[in-house]
Amino acid sequence: MDDSIGKYEQALQIEHPVTLKHLSTHTSGLPSISLIKTIMNQFDKKTYRDPYCLFGVQEAITYLSKVSPGRVGKVFRYSNEGMGLLGRYLAQKLGTDLEKALLEFICQPLGMQDTTIRLSLDQRNRLVPGYAGKDVNQPELAMKVFEGAGALRSTVTDMLQFLSVYLGIYADHPMSKPFHVTQQEHISQGKSFGVGLGWIIDKRNGIIWHNGSTHGYSSFLGCDPYNSIGIVILSNYRPNLMDDTLNRIGYEILTQIRENK
């Protein structure tokens, strides 16, 4: 995780200050939002950008080429492009594409049979339609360049299997040790929260979590590893971008289980 991204991008200096860890902890310097860039994108129809992304691939690389070394690793700014680049570089390091890497190194070892980017005919027939707003059916999400930012489809059964490794249920599993590293705090953001490798860590109660929302879908995954409690919530409804209903439900369930355990 300490590899410089310059190792994977010829356009960047080999010792570029941004590392894979910085991408994973959202401290690379890439912005979360930019009103100016959002407006500019409306007038630029030539550059392909994935949904929920401010930048195309080359735009993100150009932005990172200008990031001040003093800003890297300091401030948490959630970046879909950062996670997308991370997925590309990890797959490149493994000599394959992201989907094959995930299937070989995570999904197959854990028996996650319904977690993939490209659905089989059987999986597509079982896909629940997504809705938003006033029960408006949403088109299927297509991410072409930053698949690591949210292109995976999964099921509650598979995600509970994934989460079980974090809860120590399979302590002897080969994935247990690397999974444990991801839930450790790698970046501190004050007294309230820290950042693991892809995880948000709530310092107030020890809960680690992540959420997400795309076209017509939203999700919450959280666990209290010290008490071996975890929860997965998947919904085929997304009211709006800022809605935090699933977060509140997930936190409340985790709290109630912990208090009554």
Given 44, 68, 95, the domain boundary residue is 95
Q: Does one domain contain both 147 and 183?
A: yes
Q: Does one domain contain both 76 and 183?
A: no
- Residue 122's alpha-carbon distances to 114, 118, 141, 189, 191, in angstroms, are 10, 11, 18, 43, 47
Please indicate, yes or no, if residue 78 is contained in any of the structural domains. Answer: yes
Q: Does one domain contain both 171 and 145?
A: yes
CATH assignment of the domain containing 185: 3.40.710.10
Q: Does one domain contain both 124 and 80?
A: no
Q: How far apart are CA 178 and CA 110, in angstroms?
A: 13
Residuewise pLDDT in 10s, the chain (261 residues): 889 998 998 888 889 899 999 999 999 999 887 777 887 878 888 888 888 888 899 999 999 999 988 889 888 999 999 999 999 999 999 999 999 999 999 999 999 999 999 999 999 999 998 888 766 777 778 888 999 999 999 999 999 999 998 888 877 778 888 888 899 999 888 888 999 999 999 999 899 999 988 888 999 999 998 889 999 999 998 877 677 888 999 999 998 998 887
Domain of residue 8: give its range: 1-95
Q: Does one domain contain both 74 and 158?
A: no
pLDDT in tens, 52-69: 888 899 999 999 999 988
pLDDT in tens, 109-151: 999 999 999 999 999 999 998 888 766 777 778 888 999 999 9
Q: What is the pTM of this model?
A: 0.89
Given 95, 118, 150, the domain boundary residue is 95
Please indicate, yes or no, if residue 104 is contained in any of the structural domains. Answer: no
Q: What is residue 179's predicted lDDT score, i.e. its pLDDT?
A: 84
Q: Does one domain contain both 162 and 252?
A: yes
Please indicate, yes or no, if residue 179 is contained in any of the structural domains. Answer: yes
Q: Does one domain contain both 121 and 244?
A: yes
